Amino acid sequence: MAKSNSPAVSTSQTWWLLGAALTALVPLIPHVPPWLVALALLLLAGRALLNWTQRKLPARRWLVLLTFAGTAGVLAQFKTLFGQNPGVALLILFLALKPLEARTRRDGLAVVFLCYFLILAQFLFDQSIAAAGMMLATIVTVTAALGSLADARARAADLLRRSGVMLLQAAPFMLLLFVLFPRIQGPLWGLPRDAFSGLTGLSDSMAPGSISNLSQSDAIAFRARFAESPPRDQLYWRGPVLNDFDGRTWRIERRLPAQRLPYVPQGPAIDYEVTLEPHAKRWLFALELPGSLPPDSLMTGDYQLLAKAPVTARQRYKASSHTTMSVGLDDSEHVLQRARTLPPDFNPRTRALAASWRQQHGSDDAAVLDAAKRFFLSQGLAYTLTPPLLGQHSIDEFLFETRQGFCEHYSGAFVFALRAAGLPARVVTGYQGGETNPFDGYFTVRQYDAHAWAEVWLADNGWTRIDPTAISVPLRIEQNLAAAVPAGSNVPFMARLDLALLRELRLRLDALANNWNQWVIGYNPERQREFLDRLGMRAPDWRQMTATLAVLAGLVLLGFTAWALRQRRRTDPVQRTWIRLGRKLQRRGLPRHPWEGPLAYAGRIAVRFPESATEIGTISTLYGRLRYGKLDPVLFSELKSRVARFQP
């Protein structure tokens, strides 16, 4: 193997490389297997120990064995070496191994470039403001490490300052590219298959305890911006519709989605825009009921609004809902009969109660419904986040024994009773309520706003929303979760009413994060057109935007070239020739120190390259005469000629 001409890395340069590798690795620790984190930290610590004790680096064969072992571990972990997660894992492995063979500055450059790749990888997992801030700090550190490879004697403070200045100088051009570069639909980075494994949200089934568990989370489900805010009793955000019941669990009915709205919108409309957080399912949430479909969406026959693909990235859509119209008046008998179906041998006491309503009111479905409402109002049902466990006849136990439950208990029991009385009914889940953030004007709906209610079919009105929770515990609808549950309940932080200052701080942070999501992460083609329209660039096309970028880049390049030429003219021509000689020698591992004079430098060169001692002595003498004496064109021509021919 030919010997590299790249200079050896010094002890201080190695410390910088290890620091850069560590800062690039730390943000990824939560997203990679623990064994890989431990291995990477162990390898970096081992390289630090070798640097501290000035011992030799391990033989190449050990590095090869470690590389194969680590790669085998990645393969065993992910079952493949291709894709996002295994790719990031391999980058971490290579970054941890590379310093163990970093003998030259060229090897150091490889470490730095691996760090830059890992900085990009951070955004595959987290695109928050905190992640961006950590990325900037990492870039400053890695760029400082890059600077140390060029100037080994520079102080740490100087390297960090230069790195920060470089980023500040690049910021204007970066902002121009961000604003003007043509956007593509969707994020530039993919998301891993397991990116949503820890997310909370509604599901396609409901059993006792499922929504009360969800109510413990104050994670944001979505945000909305209204042209005019509707009253709270209209804030029912429709989601999964549960029509099938097996005695304990309600599930959605598997049916093909309709391609268009199964109703004609009627009545006044509420206009708003929703920014939906990713939840890895297909539901799009809208107030009951939307008058049009957002792009790339469908609606089922039971009025579930679905995206054509799972929502794996933040999604923004506009909607216009009609909250007072009647739907389903012409539903088929097959649909209605399915909405009356109950499994046999469950909840006999509730069945008997419903039969008494029917016997008392005959065929008057509205009167039967009123009887059910009166019963729920009179039972003294308690709203609690910690309902007791229920047995086989869960609805009987809830209505006649424990009388404690959450919205899934109320809605499930109400629908069961109506079906037992012969009325078509089903459970609808979604979100109810939310709160306006005063610092950005957005209406925020959190996971603890998850709710379930009933929907009953009446001949004169079609499908009609009935919320048994609102009947028994009206504070849940009129105010929020914290007002409805007993004092001392373990409600999520953002639902509490007694922490005003902390809530205000959290709302400010939420507003900041929302603006980041709306204008940075969510800067899609629509947002770009909106922003450029404000700047007077109406309906720009790709060619116009590319031409604008080219002109701006040309102006920046022209300005930089003019500045560089001006700086070059300021440099003495003799000095430029001497610098050219220094660059040649730097490539051979003998750079000139900033404080080093020509004679001292020539002495070091003569020791390193004794065969060139005479020539370098002549060159240094010529340089000294021309630099510190009168400029002689003949001697200057000789100096340039000798420097051009000099080959150490």
In a domain, 563, yes or no: no
At 620 the pLDDT is 85
| pLDDT tens-digit series, residues 427-462 | 999 999 888 888 888 899 988 889 999 999 999 999
My answer on whether 160 and 242 are in the same domain is: no
Q: Where among 165, 180, 195 does a domain terminate?
A: 180
Q: Which residue among 407, 440, 449, 510 is the active-site one?
A: 407
In a domain, 626, yes or no: yes
By C-alpha distance, which of 479, 513, 510 is closest to 496?
479
Q: How confident is the model at residue 531 (pLDDT cuts 50, 70, 90)?
A: confident
Q: Where among 134, 165, 180 does a domain terminate?
A: 180
My answer on whether 314 and 247 are in the same domain is: yes
At 627 the pLDDT is 79
| pLDDT tens-digit series, residues 627-638 | 777 778 888 888
My answer on whether 129 and 84 are in the same domain is: yes
In the predicted model, is pLDDT for residue 4 greater than 80? no
Helix axes 11-25, 34-53, angle to 10 degrees: 170
| pLDDT tens-digit series, residues 121-136 | 888 887 788 888 899 9
At 193 the pLDDT is 41
My answer on whether 120 and 224 are in the same domain is: no
Q: Which residue among 302, 365, 396, 467 is the active-site one?
A: 467
- d(Cα 101, Cα 107) in Å, to the nearest integer? 8
In a domain, 257, yes or no: yes
| pLDDT tens-digit series, residues 599-627 | 888 888 888 888 888 888 888 888 888 87
At 55 the pLDDT is 87
Non-local (6+) Cβ contacts of 210 within 8 A are 203, 408
For the segment 227-244, the average pLDDT, to the nearest whole number, is 91
Distance from the first to the final alpha carbon of the chain? 21
36 with 93: CB under 8 angstroms?
A: yes
My answer on whether 308 and 342 are in the same domain is: yes
In a domain, 533, yes or no: no
For the segment 507-536, the average pLDDT, to the nearest whole number, is 76
At 171 the pLDDT is 86
Q: Structurally, how many domains does the chain consist of? A: 3
My answer on whether 210 and 163 are in the same domain is: no
My answer on whether 474 and 345 are in the same domain is: yes
Peptide bond into 202 cis (omega under 30): no
Alpha-carbon torsion, ordered 136, 138, 141, 142, to 10 deg: -110
DSSP state of 290: B
467 noted as active-site residue:
yes
For the segment 189-207, the average pLDDT, to the nearest whole number, is 60
My answer on whether 30 and 155 are in the same domain is: yes
% of the chain exceeding 70 in pLDDT: 89
In the predicted model, is pLDDT for residue 152 greater than 90? no
- Lowest mean pLDDT, pick from 82-91, 542-551, 635-644: 542-551
For the segment 104-119, the average pLDDT, to the nearest whole number, is 91
**Cβ-count burial 223-241 (b if 16+ within 10 Å, e if not):** bbbeeebeeeeebbbbbbb
Q: Which residue among 204, 279, 451, 510 is the active-site one?
A: 451
642 with 622: CB under 8 angstroms?
A: yes
Q: Where among 456, 471, 501 does a domain terminate?
A: 501
- d(Cα 162, Cα 147) in Å, to the nearest integer? 8
- d(Cα 360, Cα 377) in Å, to the nearest integer? 19
Q: How confident is the model at residue 2 (pLDDT cuts 50, 70, 90)?
A: very low
At 484 the pLDDT is 56
My answer on whether 467 and 419 are in the same domain is: yes
Question: For residue 211, what are the domain limits?
Answer: 205-501
407 noted as active-site residue:
yes
Q: Give the residue carrying structure tokens 């040309």.
A: 554
431 with 205: CB under 8 angstroms?
A: no
- d(Cα 409, Cα 562) in Å, to the nearest integer? 75
Q: How confident is the model at residue 190 (pLDDT cuts 50, 70, 90)?
A: very low
My answer on whether 154 and 209 are in the same domain is: no
My answer on whether 104 and 210 are in the same domain is: no
Distances (CA, A) of 288 to 34, 39, 330, 434: 46, 53, 19, 15
Helix axes 407-420, 348-361, angle to 10 degrees: 50
Q: How confident is the model at residue 568 (pLDDT cuts 50, 70, 90)?
A: low
In a domain, 68, yes or no: yes
Distances (CA, A) of 496 to 171, 489, 491, 510, 595: 41, 10, 7, 16, 65
In a domain, 526, yes or no: no
- d(Cα 304, Cα 318) in Å, to the nearest integer? 16
In a domain, 358, yes or no: yes
In the predicted model, is pLDDT for residue 323 greater than 60? yes
% of the chain exceeding 90 in pLDDT: 33
In a domain, 429, yes or no: yes
Q: How confident is the model at residue 303 (pLDDT cuts 50, 70, 90)?
A: very high
My answer on whether 252 and 314 are in the same domain is: yes
How many CA atoms does the CB half-sphere of 535 hold within 13 Å?
11
pTM: 0.67
